[in-house]
Structure 1
Amino acid sequence: MNPQITALLLCTILLSQSHAHSHTVCIIGGGIGGASVAHFLRHYSPPDAISQITLFERHGVVGGRLATVTISGETFEAGGSIIHPKNYYAWNYTLLLGLRPEVPSHSDDSLSLGIWNGHEFVYKTLNSNSKLPIVQRLVSIANSIIMALRYGVVSLFRMNSFIEATINKFLRYYDGLESRPVFESVEAMLKWAGLFNLTTITLGEKLEEVGLSSILVQELVTVITRINYGQSVNISGLAGGVSLAGSGGGLWAVEGGNWQMASGLINRSDVELHLNEEIESVYYLGDAYELNSTKGKSYNCQVTVVATPLDEVNILFNPAISIPPRKLQHTHATFVRGLLNPAYFGLELVSDIPELIGTIESGDLPFTCISVLKQHEKDMTYKIFSRQAMADVLLDKIFSVRVETVRINWAAYPHYHAPETYAPFILDGKHLYYVNAFENAASTMETSAVAAENIARLILSRIVEKSESTSPNLKIFSSDSSVSGLRSEL
């Protein structure tokens, strides 16, 4: 045989062998979860382990529940709007992508607060228009005293201790790879961090156990859970702890919109992106998955990742999958350029209205909160959260002036309860994965990233040969694994 032909055949054989273990991955959903899976697959995988990543987003833009809204020519966060200072993946994404963090001009912890029961403000902080640091400091001290007098120093201390304890346990998910295993189930992931017990009782039950006063739970804690999750203290203890953590200081956002994190991760992860393409069926063919889209196209992938909640989409799986039934909590976000009506709140002046109005749990109240996004020369831009759509006739009662109104209906997060049940991370026992299974524990930008990081490592632990150098860091921790010696639960 011609030596040149022999060499060519040998080269072809070697190349085919070198790519024999390359895999194609399809990701359904272009939110922070799907973008994070793509990022961590590229970050952790050995050379040539992942040959192609294809991502499908049914909308025309990526970001999912990270989105912005434009009202009167100005842009504001419409979905996930704030990031905790200890959300380290979000912080690292921001640095990696060259984005600029900013403190929102009207972050919740800087706004004057009023708690409205439908008839009166049962709690209201002081406010000052002065920009002098000494005046702002004095107002802050006065508000701390007012809060302590109403809710009790001991109860406030116990609440903060509960929040810190929850955060510290969550921080275990940032441990180094040599000490942090890969988890095959949400339950195993929560037990390892010492957080599982918090999902078996309600927040109200946990805070009673901790020793908080009933008035603190009924007012301040309830206001926070209604703002962050649209629900009462009957949510699970872990979701409640995450919600309370999101009310603290140091909160930040990405300048120009948090959606840029998802967009940036997708752009730098060598992803084939399909916008405006919805997946309607997923068939397992024995050695790969066939994904069929609403555009009449089919795609074959050896690994498929679902990174969108399955609760309100109509994807046909064959063979069928089984996940626990779950309802999503819809939050109606209404943005209004105008002025609130002080008479609606029993006040005389617009300046008397708190910048953040939270509400107690009551079926008679039409909104969960109203906050000022920006003060203009003659009016303001407000954001309203409610469980039901805000009709024009209602808005005309709440507002004396309404120049422009924008409405968004978010299927925002699960409707939490206790004890929680979880969908599996691996939907079919093979290579069909579900990032949003973790949302039943808590739903934030950061929890999506944490779950996605685990899914990426789980995929690689199951497709990369044991001889690969990365395998020692990809040990699996299943729901049947021993949990002895782990940190004690809350």
Structure 2
Amino acid sequence: MLTATLIILLSIFSLASSSQSQSQSTTDVCIIGSGIAGSSVAHFLRKYSPTISQIRIFERHPVVGGRMATVTIAGETFEAGASILHPKNYHALNFTHMLNLKVKGPSASDSSFSLGIWDGQKFLFKTIDSDSKSQLVQYFISFANSIRMLFRYGISLIKMNNFVEVTVDNFLKYYESKESRPVFSSVEEMLKWADLYNLTTQTLEEELVGLKFSPLLIQELITVITRINYGQSVRISGLAGAVSLAGSGGDLWSVEGGNWQMAAGLIDRSNVTLHLQEEISLITDVGGFYELNSTNGNSYTCQITVVATPLDELTTQFIPEIYIPERKLQHTHATFVRGVLNPAYFGLNAVSDIPELVGTIESSELPFTCISVLKEHSANDFTYKLFSRQSLTDALLDQIFSIRNETLRINWGAYPHYHAPEVFAPFILDDMHLYYVNAFENAASTMETSAVSAENMARLILSRLAGQQPSGSYGLKSSTSDSNLQHPEL
């Protein structure tokens, strides 16, 4: 009788185990989000440690890349989300090199890109433009535009460059060797170590006024830049503003065919189990592990869970509940139009009189933050990209454009709505191994800042697994840093 009972119990246990194994699996690391942050965490974990046995990445969309995405118009591919990289974005440069991707630098025409600052009624400032293909002519035009801008905005233009250079130089500390660079357990620690924290305690406007910048430069050119890059005014935090200004310089680049390929390549290289179109709806601490339940009805158990997507608009629930400071995302509406702008809308006589980049000052009356020419297909056929804070109606687009053959709209929860002083979410969301790599976005949101945060996150995870305080590179596999691939001086 006892034997029969044991057999029945073993059979029930076997059936239960078999049923559970179909819907539940155990893994070392689960990452939620396949953008540059999530893919970089996977890459650096593999790079720094031989002990990570399995990594899963969950992506609710059918493609990887997060806020890196492209659209195709007239057979041409254009960036629809995160689009530009700085020449000193060394992680992105090394990813591109490592993955054999092609760098797309500025074209010859980009150097003579005409700019206009629009106030809703007139152009406050326009650069000189020319159809000449002569490099000498373009050089003199560029020089003349520099003189005109210097005449309008004064010595503050030079101060602006110095302000950006100092910020970039401080940011370069994050590429120092692991032996000389601590592991940071909070965003505040990370920023203070690089002498960047104070920039998050006041607005960009306050910072620039304190540096005695020309009010006209702040109200016009710098406002145009912050509206283009972050969809916000100069009342964003000082660090986000400095990063925005750095993104308006020369030698900017992207990946040929789309920046999303960096995320795809890192995921592929990192031997990741990728779950596309699977959204995690519930994360539960079950005592030393995390149970992740997805909208597909699946359950996964993870020793380490990394949230690599903004929590602000995520519907994922946590048991027990987690706390992060309240934060709003700045939504940027990207509208792509194939057609021709209406010169009469701008008070001009010909399409050729409209600058190739129309930036705008801060005004509630203006329906868009900028309009730029992405491609001139022919004299009466262009592809444009418009950024705005609200969706642009067909009626409004029909006023702005005289011809509109194709229209695509994308609504991005693109980056935080910046303010000062900034309050940061924690990197570590509980007492165990629940992490939030996007906490760094409240300092500045770019592809490179996500990669920098991800590199620190990987080291933080490994140092805590090794039982070490996060103040060094303890427990990390010796490895040549990514920056050394192309920048041994760092």
Normalised by the size of structure 1, how large is the TM-score?
A: 0.90
Cα distance in 2 for residues equivalent to 1:109 and 1:249: 8
1:202/1:107 CA distance change after superposition, 3 Å: farther
1:406: how far off? 0.3
Instruction: Tell whether the 8 Å contact from 1:102 to 1:254 is kept in structure 2 after alignment.
Output: yes
3-state secondary structure, aligned to 2:435: strand
**Other-structure match for 1:42:** 46
Q: Aligned letter for 2:256?
A: E
Displacement, 1:429? 2.0
CA distance in 2, matches of 1:245, 1:214: 20
User: Between the two proteins, what is the percent identity of the paired residues?
Assistant: 69
> Who is 2:371 aligned against?
370
SS of residue matched to 1:437: helix
**Partner letter of residue 118 of structure 1?**
G
Distance 2:446 2:215 in 1: 27
Separation (CA, whole Å) in 2 of partners of 1:473 and 1:159:
40
Q: Aligned residue for 1:69?
A: 71
Equivalent position of 2:161 in the other structure: 160
Whole-Å separation in 1 of the counterparts to 2:400 and 2:413:
25
Deviations 1:385-419 (A, max 9, x none): 00000000000000001010000000000000000
> Secondary structure of the equivalent of 2:53?
strand
Tell me, in whole angstroms, the C-alpha distance in 2 between the residues paired with 1:122 and 1:32. Answer: 38
CA positional deviation for 1:430: 1.0
Residue 11 (structure 1) aligns with: none
Q: Deviations over 1:187-227 (max 9, x none)?
A: 00000000000000000000011111000000000000000
Aligned to 1:5: none
Paired letter, 1:190: L
Matches within 5 A, 1:85-484: 85-105=87-107, 110-152=112-154, 154-377=155-378, 378-464=380-466, 471=474
3-state DSSP of counterpart to 2:45: helix
Aligned counterparts of 2:312 and 2:43: Cα–Cα separation in 1 = 25
Distance 1:54 1:353 in 2: 49
Secondary structure, counterpart of 1:335 in structure 2 = strand
Question: What code does the residue aligned with 1:57 have?
Answer: E
* 1:109 Cα deviation from its structure 2 partner: 5.9
Letter of the structure 1 residue corresponding to residue 47 of structure 2: H
Cα distance in structure 2, aligned partners of 1:274 and 1:150: 54
**8 Å Cα contact 1:108-1:356 kept in structure 2:** no
Identify which of 29, 35, 42 aligns with 1:31. 35
Residues 30 and 304 in structure 2, CA contact (< 8 A), matched pair in contact too? yes
Judged with a 3 Å threshold, the aligned counterparts in structure 2 of structure 1 residues 371 and 432 are, in CA distance, closer, same or farther, namely same
Give the count of matched residue pairs.
449
Q: 1-side partners of 2:30 and 2:274: how far apart?
A: 10
The change in CA–CA distance for 1:197 and 1:232 in structure 2 (over 3 A counts) is same
Residue type of the alignment partner of 2:311: L
Deviation, structure 1 residue 72: 2.6
Q: Is the 8 A contact 2:182 2:473 kept in 1?
A: no
Contact 2:115 2:356 in 1 (8 A): yes
Q: What whole-Å deviation, never above 9, does each CA across 1:264-299 have from its counterpart, x for those lacking one?
A: 000000100000000000000111000000000000
Runs of 4+ in structure 1 displaced over 3 angstroms?
104-110
1:110 Cα shift? Answer: 4.4
Distance 2:27 2:433 in 1: 11
Q: CA deviation at 1:70?
A: 1.4
Structure 2 contact 183–473 (Cα < 8 Å) conserved? no
Shift of 1:470: 5.9
Q: Which string of whole-angstrom CA distances, capped at 9 and with x for unpartnered residues, describes residues 167-189 of structure 1? A: 00001000111110000000000
Q: Give the secondary-structure state (helix, strand or coil) at the position aligned to 2:54.
A: strand
Residue 18 of structure 2 corresponds to none
- Residues 109, 32 of structure 1: CA spacing in aligned structure 2 closer, same or farther, 3 A cutoff? farther
Deviation sequence 1:316-368 (CA, Å, 0-9, x none): 10010000000000000000000000010010010000000000000000000
Q: Does the Cα contact within 8 Å between 2:416 and 2:442 map onto a contact in 1?
A: yes
CA distance in 2, matches of 1:111, 1:276: 40
Q: 2:86 aligns with which of 84, 87, 94?
A: 84
Partners of 1:111 and 1:428 in 2: CA distance: 49
Unaligned runs of 5+ in 1: 1-21, 475-490
Aligned to 1:53: 55
Question: Residues 108, 216 of structure 1: CA spacing in aligned structure 2 closer, same or farther, 3 A cutoff?
Answer: farther
CA RMSD in angstroms, aligned pairs only: 1.6
Q: Which stretches in structure 2 are left out of the alignment for 5+ residues?
A: 1-25, 478-490
